[in-house]
Amino acid sequence: MNIKKTMAGFFLAGAMCSTVLPLSVQADEAPEWLGGELKKPLSETRIGITLLYPGSNAYQAKYAEAAEQYTKELGLDATVMDPQGDPATQFNQLQDMVSKNLDAIVLWPTSQNALIPAVRQASRAGIPVITSNSPIGEAGRRYIQSHTGPDDCAQAQQAAEILGDALNGEGNIVVVEGTPGYTVSILRKNCFMDTMEDAYPNIKILASQTAEWNREKAQTVMETYLTKFGDEIDGVYAFDDGMGLGVISALQGAGKKPGEVKVVTCNLFGEGWDAIKNGWETGSNKQSPIDDAILAIQTAVKVANGIEVPAIDTIETPKITADNVDQFERPTW
């Protein structure tokens, strides 16, 4: 089976990579990255931003902080909202944004499909919507102006390559998943599994279970795996680094030594950077919540000013292992 299902496959247009850095500007000036004229001052540009659940992990918290800071630096009239992972709350937030006739909306969706009616309502009201980090369901993508964030399929493929190579193409692994049905979870699972099947057919997946993006739940899942499979486990794939750190805690509690079980994740955290340095984590990839937030906001400002944007715009997520970890600054999240 060949890998066909990349993040770009979720949309009609191909991906374009962007490097984004915060730049302070005067509220009446067009920033260099805009690529066009301002229809009105940035101080009069109204942007609504509704996130996933900033209180759930360090990445989302840093994203929310960056969004708050960057909109202030730009001088935007912006509001950052936290639905605490509840689709009904986020649905109401979107409807409120539509009623206020905002210039653009940034949406980090809490649900793949539950928000589609609200996104459709925004589109029909002429308010451009940018999805950030995770796409919404296929039926709603016609109402989205652009999607920004990491290429989750590419990240999963990278994780499979790191783990497969670390095991020399043989052994047994277990998987710790994110929330079922969430687009990021779907991509980080399917693209990993497909790469394993294609490139590392002698690696057996013993079990795969959700920990819902939660570090403590991931530790519990891994403890269960260790009880069931014991020394049969050669490697672990966790969908994000927070859960990977929970896995490492379970391994430490079981008396394992650094590197005895290969742990690979997506989306490296600061503690994960440390874990790579000290041998507990085999590898991950860089994903900056600051770049993630800034790209979404810049895209929202562009569409608010009638400037054409790609259907999908991704942030870079290079592999990080013990071989190159010193080339990357320790994440602050």
Q: Taking the domains of the chain in order of start, what are their residue ranges?
A: 20-150+288-315, 152-286+321-327
Residue 193 confidence (pLDDT) above 80:
yes
pLDDT level of residue 27 (50, 70, 90 thresholds): low
Contacts of 59 (CB under 8 A, 6+ apart): 240, 242, 267, 269, 287, 289, 333
- Determine how β-strand 77-81 pairs with β-strand 129-132: unpaired
pLDDT level of residue 57 (50, 70, 90 thresholds): confident
Q: In whole angstroms, what is the distance from residue 61 CA to residue 293 CA?
A: 11
Residue 216 confidence (pLDDT) above 70:
yes
Q: Which of 27-36, 125-134, 247-256 has the lowest mean pLDDT?
A: 27-36
How high is the pLDDT of residue 21? 42
Instruction: Please identify, in words, the CATH class of the domain defined by 20-150+288-315.
Output: alpha beta
Q: Report which secondary-structure segment, H or E, holds 319.
A: strand 319-321
Residue 11 confidence (pLDDT) above 90:
no
Instruction: Using the structure block, give the residue that is written with the tokens 């994780």.
Output: 159
Overall average pLDDT of the 262-282 stretch: 98
For domain 152-286+321-327, give the fold.
Answer: Rossmann fold (3.40.50)
**Pick from 313, 295, 12, 296: nearest CA to 142:** 12
How high is the pLDDT of residue 58? 85
- Determine how β-strand 77-81 pairs with β-strand 46-50: parallel
Q: In whole angstroms, what is the distance from residue 244 CA to residue 58 CA?
A: 13
DSSP state of 29: S
SS3 at position 259: coil
CA angle at residue 256 from 252 to 257, to 5 degrees? 100
In this prediction the pTM is: 0.85
Q: In whole angstroms, what is the distance from residue 264 CA to residue 280 CA?
A: 10
CB 200 within 8 A of CB 164: yes
How high is the pLDDT of residue 9? 42
Contacts of 100 (CB under 8 A, 6+ apart): 46, 48
Overall average pLDDT of the 62-72 stretch: 98
How high is the pLDDT of residue 181? 81
CB-facing half-sphere around the CA of 130: CA atoms within 13 A: 32
Overall average pLDDT of the 123-145 stretch: 97
CB 47 within 8 A of CB 67: no
How high is the pLDDT of residue 24? 45
CA dihedral 47, 52, 58, 61 (to 10 degrees): 30
Residue 74 confidence (pLDDT) above 70:
yes
pLDDT over 90, % of the chain:
88
**Same fold for the pair 20-150+288-315 and 152-286+321-327:** yes
Residue 84 is encoded by which pair of tokens? 């605490």
Question: Which alpha helices (H) appear in the chain, and where do they start and end?
Answer: 58-74, 87-99, 116-124, 152-166, 183-199, 215-229, 241-253, 270-277, 289-304
pLDDT level of residue 16 (50, 70, 90 thresholds): very low
Q: Where does residue 312 fall: left (phi above 0), alpha (psi -120 to 50 degrees), or beta otherwise?
A: beta
Mean per-residue pLDDT of the chain: 92
Instruction: Please list the residues that pair with 314 across neighbouring strands.
Output: 17, 149
SS3 at position 246: helix
Instruction: Using the structure block, give the residue that is written with the tokens 């047994």.
Output: 172
pLDDT level of residue 29 (50, 70, 90 thresholds): confident
